Amino acid sequence: MASVSVERLDHLGVVASVSKDLGLIEMIDARLLVHDQEEITAGEAVAGMILNGLGFSDRPLTLTPQFFANKPLDLLFHEGVRAELFNRFKLGRTLDEAYGYGCALLLSELALSVCRQEGIDARFNHLDTTSFSLTGDDVPDSDEHAMAITHGYAKDHRPDLKQAVLELMVSQDGGVPLMSKSWDGNASDTQIFQERAHALLATFKDAPSPRYLVADAKLYTGRECHQPGQTRLYHAYSGYAQAGLAGDHASAHVGHVAVSRCHDTLSAPLVVPLWHGPEVAGGMVTGISGAG
Render pLDDT for 18-63 as a digit per residue (tens, 0 to 9): 999 999 999 999 999 888 888 999 999 999 999 999 987 778 888 9
From CA 203, how far away is CA 201, in angstroms rounded?
A: 5
Here the contacts of 114-121 (C-beta below 8 Å, separation 24 or greater) are 114/22, 114/176, 115/171, 115/176, 115/178, 117/22, 117/23, 118/22, 120/171, 120/173, 120/174, 120/176, 121/171, 121/172, 121/173, 121/253
Based on the number of CB atoms within 10 Å of its own CB, is 221 exposed (0-12), middle (13-18) or buried (19 or more)?
Answer: middle
Confidence category of residue 225, pLDDT binned at 50, 70, 90: very low
Q: How far apart are CA 224 and CA 292, in angstroms?
A: 9
- Burial of 161 per CB tally in 10 Å (0-12, 13-18, 19+): middle
Please check whether residue 214 is in contact with residue 271, taking contact to mean a CB–CB distance below 8 angstroms.
Answer: yes
Contacts of 61 (CB under 8 A, 6+ apart): 49, 52, 88, 91
CA distance 10 to 71: 9
Tell me: pLDDT of 7 over 60: yes
Specify the pLDDT at position 229.
39
- pLDDT grade for 163, boundaries at 50, 70 and 90: very high
> Which pLDDT score is estimated for 288?
33
CA distances from 292 to 125, 227, 289 (A): 15, 14, 9
**Torsion angle defined by CA atoms of residues 56, 132, 115 and 76, in that order, rounded to the nearest 10 degrees:** -20
Stretch 123-136: mean pLDDT, rounded? 89
Average pLDDT over residues 190-214: 82
Residue 16 has pLDDT above 90, yes or no: yes
Q: What is the mean pLDDT of the chain?
A: 77
Contact yes or no for 236/270 (Cβ under 8 A): yes
Res. 224: pLDDT tops 70: no
**Tens digits of residue pLDDT in 71-87:** 999 999 999 999 999 99
Q: Which of 104-113, 133-142, 219-228, 251-260 has the lowest mean pLDDT?
A: 251-260
Count CB-CB contacts under 10 A for residue 238. Answer: 12
**pLDDT in the model for residue 272:** 58
pLDDT, position 149: 87
Q: Is 237's pLDDT higher than 50?
A: no
Q: What is the pLDDT of residue 240?
A: 38
